[in-house]
Chain A
């Protein structure tokens, strides 16, 4: 595989991993607040 193509693949994999990490982090925060909201509704 040419070096340049290998670099592009790694760059895209890095970017996708970063975006996925951010989305997963945001999802965890959202789930936390959903749990708080649902719990307060049931009080």
Chain B
């Protein structure tokens, strides 16, 4: 692990708000939303309280990932402007508290999921937490520019977990939903990493723009967008979703492709001139929301 360059560790007990901040609540909403859509798209719905518990467990599992990620990366966070004010690098909490909180929250979410819903969903939740912490955070992120590509699998689990929590089975549609988020993650994160690459470079994280250059990253964004759009439309021709979803997925995917094309055509090297990258990043979040909302609406109409 790299040398720690943080503020002096806290002598005071940490504020409860800092424990909440460890869970990264602002990035959790997409995880919760996709998990909820996976559950709502399932052919049979569980009783409300069990569905609520499944989504709560997905949120708590995501919170555990956030806490363990911040525990492991506290020294890296201290070097990046975007993350330097988090509880650990700012010295408002000691590292061991973050570790205990993250591990405790992870165990709690998995056991509650197993008891309230089913143990297949609990195993998937445990795998997603371990994948995010061990495979992505500890192994891939500091070592390879492909960190986001493989690590993206961790963020792709929620709709699959939501579906399995409702049905107890793994089927083709939730696997496709997994594939959509898996293929969506590289264009989404690479668009961001293009205009904050100096932060990643300063922290020594080998994100694609830092290692392979800006032009190569723009090309990769466009190349990953093609299979992502294909995977998003696939439920329609496969008969797993209706025309309403198919039309929505096609239109949303077309706009994504146009924005990725504008990123490909951009030649700017300075973040202030990277409007296409910023537009693509913002649109990618909207895209995932709209796509999953369209799927649920389509399944409920049918």
**Are B13 and A12 interface neighbours, CB within 8 A?**
yes
**Are B53 and A13 interface neighbours, CB within 8 A?**
no
Q: In the complex, which residue of chain A has the Cβ closest to the Cβ of B52? A: A30
Q: Is B49 an interface residue (CB 8 A)?
A: yes
Q: Is A28 an interface residue (CB 8 A)?
A: no
**Are B16 and A15 interface neighbours, CB within 8 A?**
yes
Size category of the binding interface on chain B: 10 to 19
Size category of the binding interface on chain A: 10 to 19
**Are A37 and B47 interface neighbours, CB within 8 A?**
yes
**Are A12 and B49 interface neighbours, CB within 8 A?**
no
Q: Interface readout for A11-31 with B: 1 if CB under 8 Å, 0 if not?
A: 011011001000000000010
**Are A9 and B53 interface neighbours, CB within 8 A?**
no
**Cβ contact of B13, chosen from A13, A37, A38, cutoff 8 A:** A13
Please report B residues at the A interface, Cβ cutoff 8 Å.
12-16, 46-50, 53, 56, 115-116
| 15 CB < 8 A contacts A-B | A8-B12, A12-B13, A12-B14, A13-B13, A15-B16, A30-B53, A30-B56, A34-B53, A34-B115, A34-B116, A37-B46, A37-B47, A38-B50, A40-B47, A41-B47
**Are B12 and A5 interface neighbours, CB within 8 A?**
yes
**Are B16 and A16 interface neighbours, CB within 8 A?**
yes
**Cβ contact of A9, chosen from B12, B16, B49, B115, cutoff 8 A:** B12
Instruction: Give complex CA distance A19, B47 in Å.
Output: 28
B16: which A residues are within 8 A, CB to CB? Answer: 12, 15-16, 19
For residue B239, give the distance in angstroms from its CB to the closest CB of chain A: 30
For residue B238, give the distance in angstroms from its CB to the closest CB of chain A: 31
**Are B49 and A33 interface neighbours, CB within 8 A?**
yes
**Cβ contact of B49, chosen from A5, A13, A15, A34, cutoff 8 A:** A34
**Are A34 and B13 interface neighbours, CB within 8 A?**
no
Most buried by A among B16, B46, B53, B115: B16
Q: In the complex, which residue of chain B has the Cβ closest to the Cβ of A23? A: B16
Instruction: Give complex CA distance A41, B15 in Å.
Output: 41
B48: which A residues are within 8 A, CB to CB? Answer: 37
For residue A5, give the distance in angstroms from its CB to the closest CB of chain B: 7
**Are B49 and A37 interface neighbours, CB within 8 A?**
yes
**Cβ contact of B12, chosen from A12, A30, A36, cutoff 8 A:** A12
